[in-house]
Amino acid sequence: MIANRLVRVVAVALSLAALVGTTELASASTWSKHHPRRAEVNHRLAIQNRRIHREVREGELNHRQAMHMHREDRRIRHNERVMASRHHGAVTPAEKRALNKRENRVSRQIGH
């Protein structure tokens, strides 16, 4: 009785592991997280995130201002993901310019 349950649990666990492994392989081939334009956009968002936190610590920004900037950065990141999903993990040069323009707008608000 206990042995049968153990066998079933192991079989289910192996099935799930196989399913997850196949899904990861499929997504890795179609979703290039490290495409150069995507990496640049995401790196810049990470730097802006650190700048916002630093400005809050130094008293240059209040928490409400920081919250709005973080929200806009999340929207930019979401748009980057959507754009990349349309082109098999890549962001086109025109899309990169549009994302950079939005990042510039947020960047100018930090520290002012």
pLDDT in tens, 34-68: 677 778 888 888 999 999 999 999 999 999 999 99
Mean pLDDT of 9-37: 58
Q: For the chain, which residues make up each domain, given as ranges? A: 1-30, 33-109
Does residue 13 have a pLDDT over 90?
no
pTM for the model: 0.65
Q: Two tokens at 57? A: 């610590």
pLDDT tens for 59-110 read: 999 999 999 999 999 999 999 899 989 988 888 999 989 999 999 998 898 8
State how far the Cα of 56 lies from the Cα of 106, in Å rounded to an integer.
Answer: 15
Which residue blocks in 1-112 are alpha helix, DSSP H? Answer: 2-30, 36-58, 63-86, 93-109
Q: From the CB of residue 61, how many other CB atoms can be counted at a distance below 10 Å? A: 22
pLDDT tier for residue 20 given thresholds of 50, 70 and 90: low
**Are the C-beta atoms of 90 and 37 separated by less than 8 Å?**
yes
